[in-house]
Structure 1
Amino acid sequence: MPNNRLKLIKIIHVARRELGMDRDTYMQMVRGLQGLDAVQSTSELSVPNLNRVLDALKKRGFKVVPSPKTRGKPHNFESRSMPDMITKIEALLADMALPWSYADAIAQQMFGIERCSWVRQEKQLKAIIAALYNRQRKLSSQKEK
Protein backbone atom coordinates (compact mmCIF):
# COMPACT_ATOMS: atom_id res chain seq x y z
CA MET A 1 0.00 0.00 0.00
CA PRO A 2 1.23 3.50 -0.66
CA ASN A 3 2.68 5.26 2.36
CA ASN A 4 3.08 8.75 0.92
CA ARG A 5 0.47 10.95 2.65
CA LEU A 6 -0.37 13.15 -0.31
CA LYS A 7 -0.58 10.20 -2.66
CA LEU A 8 -2.94 8.42 -0.27
CA ILE A 9 -5.14 11.51 0.07
CA LYS A 10 -5.34 11.83 -3.73
CA ILE A 11 -6.27 8.14 -4.10
CA ILE A 12 -8.93 8.51 -1.42
CA HIS A 13 -10.47 11.51 -3.21
CA VAL A 14 -10.48 9.59 -6.50
CA ALA A 15 -12.15 6.64 -4.75
CA ARG A 16 -14.76 8.91 -3.21
CA ARG A 17 -15.59 10.41 -6.63
CA GLU A 18 -15.68 7.02 -8.35
CA LEU A 19 -17.97 5.60 -5.68
CA GLY A 20 -20.24 8.65 -5.98
CA MET A 21 -19.96 9.54 -2.29
CA ASP A 22 -20.85 13.06 -1.27
CA ARG A 23 -18.85 14.69 1.53
CA ASP A 24 -21.39 13.89 4.25
CA THR A 25 -21.61 10.21 3.32
CA TYR A 26 -17.82 9.98 3.10
CA MET A 27 -17.27 11.68 6.49
CA GLN A 28 -19.91 9.43 8.05
CA MET A 29 -17.96 6.40 6.78
CA VAL A 30 -14.67 7.82 8.10
CA ARG A 31 -16.16 8.63 11.51
CA GLY A 32 -17.57 5.11 11.66
CA LEU A 33 -14.05 3.71 11.76
CA GLN A 34 -12.83 3.02 15.30
CA GLY A 35 -11.04 6.00 16.81
CA LEU A 36 -11.91 8.42 14.01
CA ASP A 37 -15.23 9.71 15.32
CA ALA A 38 -13.94 13.31 15.77
CA VAL A 39 -12.29 13.68 12.34
CA GLN A 40 -13.36 16.77 10.37
CA SER A 41 -11.13 16.35 7.30
CA THR A 42 -9.06 13.71 5.52
CA SER A 43 -6.01 15.97 5.88
CA GLU A 44 -6.08 15.41 9.66
CA LEU A 45 -5.43 11.68 9.28
CA SER A 46 -2.11 9.90 9.80
CA VAL A 47 -0.75 7.51 7.18
CA PRO A 48 -2.01 4.39 9.04
CA ASN A 49 -5.49 5.94 9.31
CA LEU A 50 -5.44 6.98 5.66
CA ASN A 51 -4.69 3.35 4.82
CA ARG A 52 -7.66 2.30 6.98
CA VAL A 53 -9.93 4.72 5.10
CA LEU A 54 -8.62 3.43 1.75
CA ASP A 55 -9.29 -0.16 2.88
CA ALA A 56 -12.86 0.83 3.81
CA LEU A 57 -13.33 2.37 0.35
CA LYS A 58 -11.99 -0.80 -1.27
CA LYS A 59 -14.54 -2.82 0.69
CA ARG A 60 -17.21 -0.60 -0.87
CA GLY A 61 -15.96 -1.53 -4.34
CA PHE A 62 -13.11 0.86 -5.18
CA LYS A 63 -10.25 -0.68 -7.12
CA VAL A 64 -6.85 1.02 -7.38
CA VAL A 65 -5.88 1.01 -11.05
CA PRO A 66 -2.46 2.36 -12.00
CA SER A 67 -2.48 4.97 -14.73
CA PRO A 68 -1.15 3.86 -18.12
CA LYS A 69 1.80 6.20 -17.60
CA THR A 70 3.00 4.33 -14.52
CA ARG A 71 1.97 0.78 -15.37
CA GLY A 72 4.95 -1.43 -14.66
CA LYS A 73 6.84 1.37 -12.90
CA PRO A 74 8.89 -0.04 -10.03
CA HIS A 75 6.89 0.11 -6.80
CA ASN A 76 9.99 1.31 -4.97
CA PHE A 77 10.81 3.98 -7.58
CA GLU A 78 10.99 6.81 -5.04
CA SER A 79 12.93 4.79 -2.47
CA ARG A 80 16.34 6.06 -1.43
CA SER A 81 17.78 2.66 -2.31
CA MET A 82 16.81 3.15 -5.97
CA PRO A 83 19.80 4.30 -8.03
CA ASP A 84 19.64 7.84 -9.45
CA MET A 85 20.13 6.52 -12.99
CA ILE A 86 16.68 4.94 -12.86
CA THR A 87 15.20 8.41 -13.47
CA LYS A 88 17.20 8.64 -16.70
CA ILE A 89 15.72 5.29 -17.74
CA GLU A 90 12.24 6.59 -16.91
CA ALA A 91 12.84 9.74 -18.99
CA LEU A 92 14.02 7.74 -22.01
CA LEU A 93 11.03 5.41 -21.75
CA ALA A 94 8.63 8.36 -21.47
CA ASP A 95 10.22 10.12 -24.43
CA MET A 96 9.68 7.07 -26.62
CA ALA A 97 6.28 6.24 -25.05
CA LEU A 98 7.54 2.80 -24.03
CA PRO A 99 6.33 0.88 -20.96
CA TRP A 100 8.58 -0.16 -18.09
CA SER A 101 8.33 -3.72 -19.37
CA TYR A 102 10.58 -2.65 -22.27
CA ALA A 103 13.38 -1.76 -19.82
CA ASP A 104 12.66 -4.98 -17.91
CA ALA A 105 13.14 -6.95 -21.15
CA ILE A 106 16.49 -5.24 -21.74
CA ALA A 107 17.65 -6.09 -18.20
CA GLN A 108 16.53 -9.70 -18.70
CA GLN A 109 18.21 -10.04 -22.08
CA MET A 110 21.47 -8.34 -21.13
CA PHE A 111 22.00 -9.51 -17.57
CA GLY A 112 19.43 -12.22 -16.79
CA ILE A 113 17.80 -9.87 -14.24
CA GLU A 114 14.01 -10.01 -14.43
CA ARG A 115 13.30 -6.37 -13.59
CA CYS A 116 15.17 -3.19 -14.42
CA SER A 117 14.47 -1.95 -10.88
CA TRP A 118 16.49 -4.85 -9.47
CA VAL A 119 19.64 -3.76 -11.27
CA ARG A 120 22.00 -2.04 -8.84
CA GLN A 121 25.38 -2.06 -10.57
CA GLU A 122 26.21 1.26 -12.20
CA LYS A 123 27.84 -0.46 -15.18
CA GLN A 124 24.67 -2.44 -15.89
CA LEU A 125 22.42 0.62 -15.50
CA LYS A 126 24.63 2.53 -17.94
CA ALA A 127 24.30 -0.36 -20.42
CA ILE A 128 20.49 -0.23 -20.16
CA ILE A 129 20.57 3.55 -20.67
CA ALA A 130 22.82 3.06 -23.70
CA ALA A 131 20.42 0.50 -25.18
CA LEU A 132 17.49 2.87 -24.68
CA TYR A 133 19.46 5.77 -26.14
CA ASN A 134 20.26 3.66 -29.22
CA ARG A 135 16.58 2.83 -29.60
CA GLN A 136 15.73 6.52 -29.26
CA ARG A 137 18.24 7.46 -31.97
CA LYS A 138 16.88 4.77 -34.25
CA LEU A 139 13.30 6.01 -33.77
CA SER A 140 14.24 9.64 -34.37
CA SER A 141 16.16 8.77 -37.55
CA GLN A 142 13.11 6.82 -38.81
CA LYS A 143 10.88 9.85 -38.21
CA GLU A 144 13.21 12.06 -40.26
CA LYS A 145 12.86 9.85 -43.35
Structure 2
Amino acid sequence: MKNRLISAVKAGQAVLGWDDATYRSVIARVTGGKTSSTKCTLEELESIKEYMHQQGFPRKTKKHGRRPNVAMTRKAVLDKIEALLTDAGRPWQYAEGLAAHMYKQHIIEWLTDEQLHGVMVALVNDARRRKRTP
Protein backbone atom coordinates (compact mmCIF):
# COMPACT_ATOMS: atom_id res chain seq x y z
CA MET A 1 0.00 0.00 0.00
CA LYS A 2 2.81 2.38 0.85
CA ASN A 3 4.50 1.80 -2.51
CA ARG A 4 1.26 2.60 -4.32
CA LEU A 5 0.89 5.85 -2.45
CA ILE A 6 4.50 6.78 -3.16
CA SER A 7 3.89 6.06 -6.85
CA ALA A 8 0.76 8.22 -6.78
CA VAL A 9 2.65 11.06 -5.12
CA LYS A 10 5.45 10.82 -7.71
CA ALA A 11 2.84 10.79 -10.49
CA GLY A 12 1.28 13.88 -8.93
CA GLN A 13 4.66 15.59 -8.97
CA ALA A 14 4.99 14.87 -12.70
CA VAL A 15 1.44 15.93 -13.56
CA LEU A 16 1.71 19.15 -11.58
CA GLY A 17 5.12 19.87 -13.12
CA TRP A 18 6.89 20.35 -9.80
CA ASP A 19 10.67 20.37 -9.77
CA ASP A 20 12.49 18.47 -7.03
CA ALA A 21 12.84 21.50 -4.75
CA THR A 22 9.12 22.31 -4.93
CA TYR A 23 8.20 18.66 -4.40
CA ARG A 24 10.39 18.35 -1.31
CA SER A 25 9.20 21.65 0.15
CA VAL A 26 5.58 20.51 -0.22
CA ILE A 27 6.39 17.22 1.52
CA ALA A 28 8.17 19.11 4.32
CA ARG A 29 5.25 21.52 4.75
CA VAL A 30 2.58 18.78 4.79
CA THR A 31 4.47 16.30 6.98
CA GLY A 32 6.13 18.71 9.36
CA GLY A 33 9.73 18.34 8.25
CA LYS A 34 10.23 15.16 6.25
CA THR A 35 11.64 15.73 2.76
CA SER A 36 11.30 12.26 1.22
CA SER A 37 8.13 10.34 0.45
CA THR A 38 9.87 7.08 1.40
CA LYS A 39 10.24 8.34 4.99
CA CYS A 40 6.52 9.20 5.31
CA THR A 41 3.83 7.18 7.04
CA LEU A 42 0.68 6.07 5.22
CA GLU A 43 -1.29 8.93 6.76
CA GLU A 44 1.30 11.48 5.69
CA LEU A 45 1.33 10.09 2.14
CA GLU A 46 -2.46 10.34 2.04
CA SER A 47 -2.18 13.96 3.20
CA ILE A 48 0.38 14.74 0.50
CA LYS A 49 -1.80 13.12 -2.14
CA GLU A 50 -4.85 15.06 -0.96
CA TYR A 51 -2.87 18.31 -1.10
CA MET A 52 -1.86 17.47 -4.66
CA HIS A 53 -5.51 16.91 -5.58
CA GLN A 54 -6.29 20.35 -4.21
CA GLN A 55 -3.51 21.75 -6.40
CA GLY A 56 -4.95 20.21 -9.59
CA PHE A 57 -3.73 16.60 -9.67
CA PRO A 58 -6.83 14.81 -11.05
CA ARG A 59 -8.49 12.10 -9.01
CA LYS A 60 -8.77 8.69 -10.55
CA THR A 61 -12.45 7.99 -10.97
CA LYS A 62 -14.40 5.18 -12.49
CA LYS A 63 -17.63 7.00 -13.05
CA HIS A 64 -18.25 5.33 -16.39
CA GLY A 65 -17.74 1.74 -15.32
CA ARG A 66 -15.64 -1.03 -16.73
CA ARG A 67 -15.19 -1.30 -20.48
CA PRO A 68 -16.05 -4.84 -21.62
CA ASN A 69 -13.30 -6.98 -23.06
CA VAL A 70 -14.36 -8.51 -26.39
CA ALA A 71 -12.71 -10.23 -29.33
CA MET A 72 -11.01 -8.11 -31.99
CA THR A 73 -13.76 -8.96 -34.49
CA ARG A 74 -16.32 -7.22 -32.23
CA LYS A 75 -14.12 -4.29 -31.23
CA ALA A 76 -15.51 -1.91 -33.89
CA VAL A 77 -19.06 -2.36 -32.61
CA LEU A 78 -17.89 -1.93 -29.02
CA ASP A 79 -16.01 1.25 -29.97
CA LYS A 80 -19.21 2.64 -31.51
CA ILE A 81 -21.17 1.73 -28.35
CA GLU A 82 -18.54 3.46 -26.22
CA ALA A 83 -18.69 6.59 -28.40
CA LEU A 84 -22.49 6.71 -28.17
CA LEU A 85 -22.39 6.28 -24.39
CA THR A 86 -19.77 9.01 -24.04
CA ASP A 87 -21.75 11.36 -26.26
CA ALA A 88 -24.84 10.79 -24.13
CA GLY A 89 -22.87 11.06 -20.87
CA ARG A 90 -23.96 7.61 -19.81
CA PRO A 91 -21.95 4.87 -18.06
CA TRP A 92 -21.34 1.33 -19.29
CA GLN A 93 -24.05 0.19 -16.89
CA TYR A 94 -26.57 1.84 -19.24
CA ALA A 95 -25.50 -0.47 -22.10
CA GLU A 96 -25.59 -3.43 -19.72
CA GLY A 97 -29.12 -2.44 -18.70
CA LEU A 98 -30.15 -2.26 -22.35
CA ALA A 99 -28.72 -5.72 -22.95
CA ALA A 100 -30.53 -7.07 -19.90
CA HIS A 101 -33.81 -5.51 -21.02
CA MET A 102 -33.49 -6.56 -24.65
CA TYR A 103 -31.86 -9.98 -24.33
CA LYS A 104 -32.05 -10.93 -20.64
CA GLN A 105 -28.24 -10.82 -20.55
CA HIS A 106 -26.55 -8.06 -18.59
CA ILE A 107 -22.95 -9.06 -19.38
CA ILE A 108 -21.86 -7.43 -22.63
CA GLU A 109 -19.12 -10.00 -23.27
CA TRP A 110 -21.68 -12.80 -23.40
CA LEU A 111 -23.85 -11.23 -26.10
CA THR A 112 -23.84 -12.70 -29.58
CA ASP A 113 -22.70 -10.54 -32.49
CA GLU A 114 -26.32 -9.86 -33.44
CA GLN A 115 -27.26 -8.93 -29.89
CA LEU A 116 -24.25 -6.60 -29.57
CA HIS A 117 -25.27 -4.95 -32.83
CA GLY A 118 -28.82 -4.60 -31.46
CA VAL A 119 -27.53 -2.73 -28.40
CA MET A 120 -25.59 -0.42 -30.70
CA VAL A 121 -28.71 0.23 -32.81
CA ALA A 122 -30.71 1.01 -29.66
CA LEU A 123 -28.08 3.56 -28.63
CA VAL A 124 -28.08 5.11 -32.13
CA ASN A 125 -31.88 5.45 -31.92
CA ASP A 126 -31.52 7.01 -28.47
CA ALA A 127 -29.00 9.53 -29.85
CA ARG A 128 -31.41 10.49 -32.63
CA ARG A 129 -34.22 10.90 -30.12
CA ARG A 130 -32.09 13.17 -27.95
CA LYS A 131 -31.16 15.37 -30.93
CA ARG A 132 -34.81 15.89 -31.89
CA THR A 133 -35.84 16.90 -28.39
CA PRO A 134 -35.03 20.58 -27.64
State the TM-score bracket (shorter-chain normalisation).
0.5 to 0.7
Count of residues paired in the alignment: 101
Unaligned runs of 5+ in 1: 1-8, 30-55
Matching residue within 116, 130, 133 for 1:139: 130
Q: Describe how 1:1-145 pairs up with structure 2 within 5 A.
A: 13-14=11-12, 22=23, 25-26=36-37, 28=38, 60-61=45-46, 65-68=60-63, 71-74=64-67, 77=69, 83-84=74-75, 85-116=77-108, 118-143=109-134
Residues of 2 paired with 1:12 and 1:57: CA distance?
15
Amino acid of the structure 2 residue aligned with 1:139: R
Residues of 1 paired with 2:42 and 2:74: CA distance?
34
Residues of 1 paired with 2:89 and 2:65: CA distance?
13
| Runs of 4+ more than 6 Å apart | none
Residues of 2 paired with 1:81 and 1:138: CA distance?
30
Residues of 1 paired with 2:73 and 2:65: CA distance?
15
Deviation at 1:119, TM superposition (A): 3.4
Contact 2:65 2:93 in 1 (8 A): yes
Residues of 1 paired with 2:84 and 2:125: CA distance?
10
RMSD (CA atoms): 4.0
Amino acid of the structure 2 residue aligned with 1:72: G
Unaligned runs of 5+ in 2: 1-6, 16-21, 25-34, 51-58
The structure with the largest alpha-carbon Rg is: 2
- Of all paired residues, the percent bearing the same amino acid is 22
Residues of 1 paired with 2:127 and 2:78: CA distance?
17
Change (3 A) 1:57 1:91: farther
